[in-house]
Amino acid sequence: MHHALAVVPFFEDLTYLGVFLGTFLAGYLFPVPEEVILLTAGYLGGIRAAHLSLLALAGIAGILAGDMVLFRLSRSEHPFAQKIKNKIVDSSLWKSPLVSRAHMGRTIFFLRFVVGVRSFSPVLAGISGMRWRSFLFWDTLALLVYVPFFVFLGFHFWDSFVRVVTQVEIVRHAIFFGVVALAGVGIAWFAKKELSGAGLPEGEGKAGG
């Protein structure tokens, strides 16, 4: 029994690392929307596989790290960054009311909650000349609202709905991940629709995030 309990911290640490890497790579090498990963993190907190607050912190750190990489790339001459910058400047997003170059901090904050365009906010900040400290502040401020919302949504979904539906462990997990998968498909479809409407390229930037 002692040996079994001793491995629990190891799996918890692995879970936090998984959430960090998942949110960091979401839309790059890991084609899953951020929302799906955050909902799953809340679910893991619900089944006591890890601590909810630490899962949320791992999600914030992962998304923030990914955003800072994009921000840095947008200030460079890297071909990938140039391609995204050109697409954004030529798109309707650059001229839309969503983007206020006079109040870029407010723009970065609110774009975090807009499906389909929020993944371009680090690039928008970079090409508008926003200082990295300002971007870090506004992006963190938005993530402090965005990440806990989805993590706690996943947690409460487990706690209230799934447990009532069935007491069979495997079926509980299957129901949760089935619904999350459907949510992911819906988010990806909506993001694709929004990107097409804004004249932005599909498949570039973070998926759903």
* Domain assignment present for 135: yes
Q: Which amino acid is at 52?
A: L
pLDDT at position 117, please?
Answer: 67
Query: How many separate domains does the chain show?
Result: 1
The domain of 191 spans: 2-198
Torsion of CA 28, 30, 35, 38, to 10 degrees: -120
* Domain assignment present for 208: no
pLDDT at position 68, please?
Answer: 92
* Domain assignment present for 204: no
pLDDT at position 49, please?
Answer: 74
* Domain assignment present for 206: no
What's the rounded Cα separation, in Å, for the pair 55 and 33? 17
End-to-end CA distance of the chain: 42
* Domain assignment present for 62: yes
* Domain assignment present for 209: no
| pLDDT, one tens digit for every residue, the chain (209 residues) | 344 334 345 446 678 898 999 899 886 666 778 888 888 888 888 877 788 999 999 999 999 999 998 898 888 877 777 777 777 766 666 666 666 666 788 888 888 887 666 677 888 888 888 899 999 999 999 999 999 998 998 888 776 645 544 443 454 456 556 666 676 666 666 666 655 655 555 444 454 44
* Domain assignment present for 205: no
What's the rounded Cα separation, in Å, for the pair 109 and 135? 9
pLDDT at position 6, please?
Answer: 44
pLDDT at position 145, please?
Answer: 92
What is the DSSP code string of 145-175?
HHHHHHHHHHHHIIIIIIHHH---HHHHHHH
Global pTM exceeds 0.95:
no
Where residue 201 falls (left for φ over 0; alpha for ψ -120 to 50; beta otherwise) is beta
SS3 call for 26: strand
pLDDT at position 168, please?
Answer: 39
Question: CB within 8 A of 133, min separation 6: which ones?
Answer: none
* Domain assignment present for 203: no
Within 10 Å of residue 12's Cβ, how many Cβ atoms? 17
What's the rounded Cα separation, in Å, for the pair 206 and 156? 26
